Amino acid sequence: MPLTKLQFKAGINREITSYSNEGGWFDGNKIRFRMGFPEKIGGWLKNSIKAFLGTCRALHPWVALSGEKYIGVGTGLKYYISEGGTYHDITPLRVTSSAVTFATGADTLNGAITAVAQSITLNSASGFPTGGGRILIGSEQITYGGVSSATLTGCERGVNGTTAATHSDSAAVTCCTLSVTDSDGHGALENDFVTFSGAATLGGVITAAVLNQEYQVTHVNSSTVFQIEARSVASIESITTTSGLNPTFVFANTSDSGNGGGSAVGAYQVSTGLDTSVGGTGWGAGTWGRGTWDSASTLATGGSTLRIWSHDNFGENLLINARDAGIFYWAKSGGLTSRAVVLSGLGVAADKIPTVAKQVLVSDKDRHIIAFGCDPETAIGTQDPLLIRFGSQESLTDWSAKATNTAGDLRIGSGSEIITAVETRQQILVFTDVSLHAMQFLGPPFTFGINTVSENITTAGPMCAVAVNDNVFWMGQEEFYVYAGAVNKLPCTVKDYVFTDFNLGQIEKVVASNNSSFSEIWWFYPSASSDENDRYVIFNYEQNIWYYGTLSRTAWVDRGIDDLPIAASNDHYLYEHETGFDDGSTSPASAVLAHIESSQIDLSDGDQFVFLSKLLPDVTFRNSTASAPSVTFTMSTRNYPGGAYLQTDANAVTKSTSSTVEQFTNLINTRLRGRSFNMKVENSATETTWRLGTPRVELKQDGRR
């Protein structure tokens, strides 16, 4: 019998049934198409040996004038600059207070127990931390001190600064919780960071060195009182893990009765944001930015919006903005140990500089700093979500509109708020929740002009759009779009597959990215069963095809400054992509499990049973470093379009077979019988990459219908 070539259309199609997609691909993971043929994607390696705090949702690479390569890393808890894989914390300060005193915590439960049982017995068998901690019952958080009814045996964290074998908790241990009072009003939220200095010892184990370091707020009691957990002397960076802070706690004793002296100072970093979106709060429901810069927040349970940073270069220096918060400036001349400072504190025009914005960027063509969704010149501190302001050309601090400068503002007339802005070579596209606008530099006296491009779009969130030359691609709500002089919906062969398994409550986490080496736009998004990005969908704009897979990434920057794309994962590491063949998140590296599966292929037009007797594979393992790279070919048959792929039929005739294919595998003998079949190619070994060509099969009709 003659051999039949298995030639498949490029891309994956899930908009129609597998049977009607004959000659196409129906499923895949961690594959891409080049020249119409599928291959496994490249691997990834960690960019550093240390993790960062919080979930990263913004990356910005640049090169200083002296040649240093930097990456700005914005997370829900911090803002870092990474150089050579080392993270430098430049998170701005919100306020510094010299009205700080300390007190040791008490052995009491702070909170109410609303469960059916009106009491909880804490003992060494309960599984709770023996030195104090927190319990979450529904939405009620309970902070407790030392266990009052137990004998602590071999307390791994130490008791009273020792490692006593046993210790009765009847009187001497107060736990590691310290109560901090700031009579000026701290304005802090739970999970915020504060650095103390100038404090004196409490008189016992809680020494000045223990107090005078950076802490994370564990609980907010009131506008003037909050709690921290005393820990051994170490930098925040040295005690970070993939799950956050993991300190060695220090326990107070009866000698710790002081208050830290009268000279303690607390330097509060800008309030942290959420890692998970909270429904019903809206884009602009931030915890600060609606009042004056140093005003205290009335919320004590954490921010109510997802923390998203925007950032851009002003020369070799950096401008950063936490969405719905202030604009900050980091000067390279101050070094990597210096923090970013609020932009409105730099010059004489501070009263006109925006103090709250949704996004900031620097126009590359004309060197204007532009703030989107900011406060107007006439009402500093009151955010207008549709207002655009720009400072004078080449100036950080001159934002007051005058006839002698180029500062000014524009206001968008449609929509309820600005979602994001994307700069292309010729213009800046500004997205609201329902419309798209093109902003262009005109020169004096108007400086910028803005035109409405479309009033019939949707936008997934602030990170959902990416520019490729003068085209902009973005994900909307159940649609994909492209702007190339006009707005068009992108026909998508996997749209139903993507949007029917999508956590719409976390849609603002969608991040768009360009992988220019392969002409791909990647969108990472959360599936219905996940609160974090765990899947991706790819549009290949060169071949005009779609494919998808599973991968957890929360931010991505294309190659350019660096030779490889860099992405952030929700395990709190940065990864270099398209390097090697394996998953470098584990040690040792594990295999990237990739597969491609075809739709059904009729045997003799589906009206007769046919035997599939031979398979001639066509696959290359070029550049693989494994000693014997291989993939598995699985051929499966079924008798009806809606039937299952079976292992055997009623007569024990084989319906599915899997075979290992290596570089020089010439022929696979099979004996499969059915009306249609499909083919799946997959790998499970490390150091292996593969690319599929055009396999051939030998078919024999058995004459039965």
pLDDT higher at 370 or 157: 370
Residue 674 located in a structural domain: yes
pLDDT in tens, 521-531: 999 999 999 99
Integer Cα distance of 75 and 87 in angstroms: 12
pLDDT in tens, 468-478: 988 999 999 99
pLDDT higher at 579 or 144: 579
pLDDT of residue 346: 84
Residue 226 located in a structural domain: yes
Q: Which of 231, 252, 269 is the last residue of a domain?
A: 269
User: What's the whole-number mean pLDDT along residues 433-455?
Assistant: 94
pLDDT of residue 278: 74
User: What's the whole-number mean pLDDT along residues 666-691?
Assistant: 91
Cβ atoms within 10 Å, residue 303: 26
Nearest CA to 30 among 630, 688, 694, 501?
A: 688
pLDDT in tens, 255-281: 888 999 989 999 999 999 988 887 654
Residue 654 located in a structural domain: yes
pLDDT higher at 277 or 225: 225
pLDDT at 282 over 50: no
Q: Which of 245, 269, 293 is the last residue of a domain?
A: 269
Q: What percent of the chain has pLDDT over 70?
A: 81
pLDDT at 86 over 90: yes
Question: What is the residue range of 196's domain?
Answer: 97-269
Residue 697 located in a structural domain: yes
Residue 446 located in a structural domain: no
pLDDT of residue 378: 93
Residue 65 located in a structural domain: no
pLDDT of residue 385: 97
Q: How many domains does the chain have?
A: 2
The one-letter amino acid at 589: A
Integer Cα distance of 202 and 196 in angstroms: 14
Least confident of 27-36, 238-247, 545-554: 238-247
pTM of the model: 0.87
pLDDT of residue 107: 33
Side-chain half-sphere exposure of 685, counting CA atoms within 13 A: 17
DSSP 162: B
Which of helix, strand or coil describes residue 240? strand
Integer Cα distance of 103 and 204 in angstroms: 12
Integer Cα distance of 395 and 407 in angstroms: 9
pLDDT at 169 over 50: no
pLDDT at 672 over 80: yes
Cβ atoms within 10 Å, residue 300: 16
Residue 174 located in a structural domain: yes
pLDDT of residue 589: 97
Q: Which of 252, 269, 286 is the last residue of a domain?
A: 269
pLDDT of residue 518: 97
pLDDT in tens, 487-509: 999 999 999 999 999 999 999 99
Task: Name all contacts of 280-283 with Cβ < 8 Å and 24+ positions apart.
Answer: 281/305, 283/323, 283/324, 283/358, 283/385, 283/417, 283/419, 283/508
pLDDT in tens, 41-53: 999 999 988 899 9
pLDDT at 174 over 80: no
pLDDT band at 130 (very low <50, low <70, confident <90, very high): very low
pLDDT of residue 606: 61
pLDDT band at 293 (very low <50, low <70, confident <90, very high): very low
pLDDT at 445 over 90: no
pLDDT band at 650 (very low <50, low <70, confident <90, very high): very low
| CATH code (residue 678) | 2.60.120
pLDDT at 216 over 60: yes
pLDDT in tens, 322-362: 999 999 999 999 999 999 999 988 876 556 899 999 999 99
Average pLDDT, the chain: 85
Residue 63 located in a structural domain: no
pLDDT of residue 663: 85
